[in-house]
Amino acid sequence: MAGVTGNEDRWARWLLGTRHGGDAALREQMLAGTLYPWRDEILDRARLAPGDTLLDVGCGDGLVAFGALDRLGPAGHVIFADISPDLLDHCRAAAAAEGLLGQCSFVRASADSLAPVADGSADVVTTRSVLIYVKDKAAALREFYRVLRPGGRVSLFEPVNRLMRDQHGRFSGYDVRGSRRSWRRSVRSTKRSSRRIPIRC
């Protein structure tokens, strides 16, 4: 798998390789069909202006962050933030290869604790499929507010998984109908088992 050595943390390994099974054609199909449109909508709604500073929380492989750099111009700046050092290293290497390191900062931080990012240092905060994994969402939103300058904007995308099936019942391109049947059987079995367990208070 291109860009994956097997030594990365689990999140980096999934994002850089497992998600598309090491299939370059499938990766391009996912980018063009799903990921780029989501990225573009996030950035459209962020109302970016040339020279803005954008903080991409949970930057992953840099999908949104690099898209922002294209729009911000040479005076713009993007802060890549993620909990995965391997993904930050991946983004740093990609930025260096494109000659963009001077417009980038890289911080290891979780969405609900952005301590390395100074108060009022960003014009825009973006996320894509990040808060779904964050337990304390209110803390994350407080952090977004803290790091934004007056008049700053937040543009985020969070999936509602039950609405993400296509017209053929596939979830992100995968046929999950069998998984759903297994899940329902498991729930039914769990309910039957729980009725057999006496509960004493």
Written as six digits, the tokens of 33 are 């069909």
Of 78, 60, 61, whose CA–CA distance to 69 is shortest?
A: 78
Q: Check residue 76 and give its pLDDT.
A: 97
201: Cβ contacts below 8 Å, ≥ 6 apart: none
Q: Is 158 helix (H, G, I), strand (E, B) or coil?
A: coil
Mean of the per-residue pLDDT values for the chain? 82
Q: What is the pLDDT of residue 113?
A: 97
Q: How confident is the model at residue 186 (pLDDT cuts 50, 70, 90)?
A: very low
5-19, 61-75, 96-110, 126-140: least confident range: 5-19
Q: Distance between CA 64 and CA 74 in Å, rounded?
A: 17
- Cβ-in-10-Å burial (0-12, 13-18, 19+) of 50 comes to exposed
| Range in 78-82, 144-148, 176-180 with the lowest mean pLDDT | 176-180
3-state helix, strand, coil in the chain (%, to 5): 50, 20, 30
Q: What is the pLDDT of residue 159?
A: 80
| SS3 assignment, position 169 | coil
Residue 55 confidence class, pLDDT cut points 50, 70, 90: very high
Could you give the CA distance from residue 62 to residue 87 in angstroms, rounded to a whole number? 8
Confidence of residue 194 (pLDDT cuts 50, 70, 90): very low
Could you tell me the pTM of the whole model? 0.75
Indicate whether 178 pLDDT > 70: no
Q: Residue 196's pLDDT band (boundaries 50, 70, 90)? A: very low
Mean pLDDT, residues 35-55 taken together? 95
